[in-house]
């Protein structure tokens, strides 16, 4: 698997240009690991179907927000080799919004 290093801005561009519906993604941000299939991706939003015993279903992510928190992404396109992306310069301790 090829490994790339990107800034959050480069990751946002990668999502917009390379990720397609039906691709598999593994999102690793903050303390969360989210594997799933891309249901829909637009310029601004990612819809990911997550198979989980705890909370299955479609999760929606704002691309700009999620790219700023992302630590690592594994992209498994329908056709082609998987790519591991290590995101540099992210906030590794984002607010959990817990009060």
Q: What is the pLDDT of residue 32?
A: 84
pLDDT of residue 91: 55
Give the pLDDT score at 40. 96
Closest by Cα among 93, 80, 96, 90 to 11: 90
Name the strand (E) or helix (H) holding 16. Answer: helix 8-18
Closest CA to 44 of 64, 27, 29: 64
**Residues pairing with 32 in the sheet:** 29
Alpha-carbon span 78 to 88, nearest angstrom: 26
pLDDT tens, residue by residue, 49-98: 998 877 789 999 999 999 989 999 999 999 899 999 999 985 554 444 43
């Amino acid at each position: 698997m090829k490994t790339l290093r990107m800034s959050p801005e480069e990751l946002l561009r990668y999502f917009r240009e390379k990720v397609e519906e039906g691709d598999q993604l593994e999102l690793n941000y903050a303390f969360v690991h989210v594997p799933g299939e891309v249901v829909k991706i637009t310029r601004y939003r990612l819809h990911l179907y997550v198979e989980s015993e705890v909370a299955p279903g479609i999760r929606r992510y704002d691309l700009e927000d999620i790219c700023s928190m992302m630590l690592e992404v594994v992209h498994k396109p329908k056709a082609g080799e998987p790519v591991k992306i290590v995101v540099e310069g992210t906030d590794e301790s984002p607010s959990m919004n817990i009060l």
